[in-house]
Chains A and B, each alone.
Chain A
Amino acid sequence: MGNMVRKGGATLSPVIRRILFSLAVLLWAAVILYFYQSGRIVKYLAPDFRPIAMAGGLGLAVLGLFNLLTAFREADCGHDHGEGEEHDHEGGDMSPLASLILMTLPVGFSAAWTKDGFSQATLARKGLYEDVQPSETPFLASAFPAPTREEIENTHSKTADGYLQFSLMELFFATGDRELQDVIGGLPIETEGRIVEEKNDNPNGTRMRLYRMFMTCCVADSRAIPIILEFGKEPPLLPDNGWVKVAGTMTFPEENGTLKAVLEVTRATAAEVPPEEKFLRR
């Protein structure tokens, strides 16, 4: 117990080192459990990973608290250590203070800085203004076997004014599936997503872009899933990057050699923010 830390931190006793390490572990636990408990975790992790994160947060809390509460107790590792050999079950290569700072500052600052969403610049880098190519989606196309129009009507809810409710992901990836385009093209469709300015091929200013994020595991691996909204006139005033429900007729025109998913909009209204962005692997 009287051993002092020799590696990296010459003046800290093992008890203080344990307390510092426990605090670092407890901070991680607190941040993970806070994001889970507050529901904000849905913006960060796919559903499969959320219970794992919660279990991890609880495990860290147990580990940190256990070690904090027993920091002053002596413990016998139960096996032999040679004369002069340093008892290295707790000794580290780095100063405990440096470890504490490196473990806590980035997490603390990130928890303070995050707004649970990417900026427009990063969204653009994550594919907001990219169009899917037909050859890019063999896997995803195979996940949606070409249905008949009747099957589509049976498997999609209809709004009171007769629009079939589609997820944006289905519309986006239909661009890579000729058979699906033939079925969906011309159908009255309602979908929802976030609306932003259309920056590509919009000479008349009649277009906007609708997107959601596609997340496989965590938001860092997410990609934007966009389609084009064609209003045929000046688009209505809707909150930039706000959630909207749009209805209209789906088309897949080829423009400048690229096939695009374009919804010719007849109705667009602001919508409630959904509890999470459910574009996950399905």
Chain B
Amino acid sequence: MQMNADARQDFALAFLSILFEGAPFILLGTLISGFIDIYLPAGTMDRFLPKNRNLAVLVSGLLGAVFPVCECAIVPVIRRLVGKGLPLGCALAYMLAAPIVNPITALSTWKAFQGQAPWAMTGGRMLLGYLIAVGVGLIVSRIAMRRVLRKSLADSIENKSHESHKTDEPPSCCGHDHPHDHHHDHDHSHSHEKADDSRLIAAMRSAQKDFVDVGVYFTIGVAITALFNTGIAPGAIWLDSLAGNPAAAPAALMALAFILSLCSTSDAFIAATLAKFTWSAKLAFLVFGPMLDVKLIFLYQSVLRRKFILVMALSVFAFIWVVAVAWETWFGKVVLP
């Protein structure tokens, strides 16, 4: 693809602006993930969640209310939590719900939709986002891990699981396992002061490694988003022509959300200005976008298999579309006359 000077200028501006906006949130996520990696004993999340598998998924879908993380930051966190033994269904439920079911997103949605049934839009967004997330979580909890996770991640988890079964040792006094049959050249002294210093370095290295892993996919996603973003207007004309069609409008706005790759904390401000579109189409935009967009497709690939991402994307798209069309057909005018 050849780019002239104007196209390069436009691409660079859009690319850098999205990168500046998203990089701090990825850093936050990777710092959390790095420290989880080193400091959080394996299985902690298992102990934190209800023992019942279905109930655990339902609770996981609400964790965003306690740990509000946007969609950029959640992926590295999830990667580590899965590696630490968080059940996959719970991880997916948390990953999909957290960017929507959190107080920051709720506040921004409510604020953006003043004058446009803000409570209905905010509540509808939270509820639909939660239902889809736990729905995916419940389904995934019944699927073999290898059909969902990247091969390298699945291998790593299986190795850890295999090893923990082999050693079957109780945790030590400091809350984590100390190696007794270690085969690395680690310093095995029990001096906690020295160990703390050493573990901090390990945590920072892990965080940096996660940042680079996610940053690579983020860069690719942002680059593609910037290319679409700077050429979006012909699509906008096409979109306008679909606004009055109750079946096409939700699909069109979900496609727009996918391309724009907006942050869930701010996308409501864009959706609120799409006044030609129906309430349910905007709802589809606000629920689908934080779950799946161009940059997320690339970020998800650091955790999930491509085939699973494709199936999940199509399923979520279809489900939201059905809900949006049904709502508009039966209840739309009740919410927004």
Contacts of A74 in B (CB 8 A): 185-187, 198
Do A75 and B219 form a contact, CB below 8 Å, given A64-B208, A90-B206, A90-B209? no
Do A76 and B195 form a contact, CB below 8 Å, given A136-B276, A139-B275? yes
Contact between A220 and B269, CB atoms less than 8 A apart = no
Nearest-neighbor residue (CB-CB) of A64 within chain B:
B208
Contact between B205 and A18, CB atoms less than 8 A apart = yes
Task: Let me know if A41 is at the binding interface, CB within 8 A.
Answer: yes
Task: Let me know if A88 is at the binding interface, CB within 8 A.
Answer: yes
Task: Let me know if A245 is at the binding interface, CB within 8 A.
Answer: no
State A23–B181 Cα separation when bound (angstroms).
Answer: 35
Contact between B220 and A44, CB atoms less than 8 A apart = no
Name the interface residues of B204-247: CB closer than 8 Å to any CB of A.
Answer: 204-209, 211-213, 215-216, 219-220, 222-223, 225-226, 229-234, 236
Contacts of B269 in A (CB 8 A): 216-217, 281
State A133–B230 Cα separation when bound (angstroms).
Answer: 23
Q: How far is the CB of B276 from chain A (nearest CB, A)?
A: 6
State A63–B263 Cα separation when bound (angstroms).
Answer: 24
Task: Let me know if A127 is at the binding interface, CB within 8 A.
Answer: yes
Contacts of A86 in B (CB 8 A): 156
Contact between A218 and B17, CB atoms less than 8 A apart = yes
Contact between A82 and B208, CB atoms less than 8 A apart = no
Contacts of B233 in A (CB 8 A): 124-127
Nearest-neighbor residue (CB-CB) of B152 within chain A:
A93
Contact between A216 and B270, CB atoms less than 8 A apart = yes
State A88–B181 Cα separation when bound (angstroms).
Answer: 18
Contacts of A73 in B (CB 8 A): 201
Give which listed residue, B10, B37, B195, contacts A89 with CB less than 8 A: B37
Contact between A114 and B12, CB atoms less than 8 A apart = yes
State A230–B273 Cα separation when bound (angstroms).
Answer: 27
Nearest-neighbor residue (CB-CB) of A117 within chain B:
B13
Q: How far is the CB of A45 from chain B (nearest CB, A)?
A: 6
Name the interface residues of A181-217: CB closer than 8 Å to any CB of B.
Answer: 216-217
Contacts of A111 in B (CB 8 A): 12, 16
Task: Let me know if B20 is at the binding interface, CB within 8 A.
Answer: yes
Do A59 and B27 form a contact, CB below 8 Å, given A35-B16, A103-B216, A110-B12? yes
State A122–B12 Cα separation when bound (angstroms).
Answer: 12
State A43–B13 Cα separation when bound (angstroms).
Answer: 9
Name the interface residues of A51-84: CB closer than 8 Å to any CB of B.
Answer: 52-53, 55-57, 59-60, 63-64, 66-67, 70, 73-84
Contact between B116 and A78, CB atoms less than 8 A apart = no
Contacts of A88 in B (CB 8 A): 156
A sample of 6 more A-B contacts (CB under 8 A), given A119-B9, A122-B10, is A63-B211, A74-B187, A83-B181, A87-B184, A114-B13, A220-B17
User: What are 20 A-B contacts defined by CB distance under 8 Å?
Assistant: A24-B212, A28-B215, A31-B16, A52-B24, A64-B208, A82-B163, A92-B213, A99-B216, A110-B12, A110-B15, A110-B16, A114-B9, A114-B16, A119-B10, A138-B275, A139-B272, A143-B114, A216-B270, A218-B18, A220-B14
5 closest A-B pairs by CB? A56-B24, A142-B115, A125-B233, A82-B163, A119-B6
Give me the interface of A with B, judged by CB distance under 8 Å: 1-2, 7, 18, 21-22, 24-25, 28, 31-32, 35, 41, 43-45, 49, 52-53, 55-57, 59-60, 63-64, 66-67, 70, 73-94, 98-99, 102-103, 106-107, 109-122, 124-127, 133, 135-143, 216-221, 223, 281
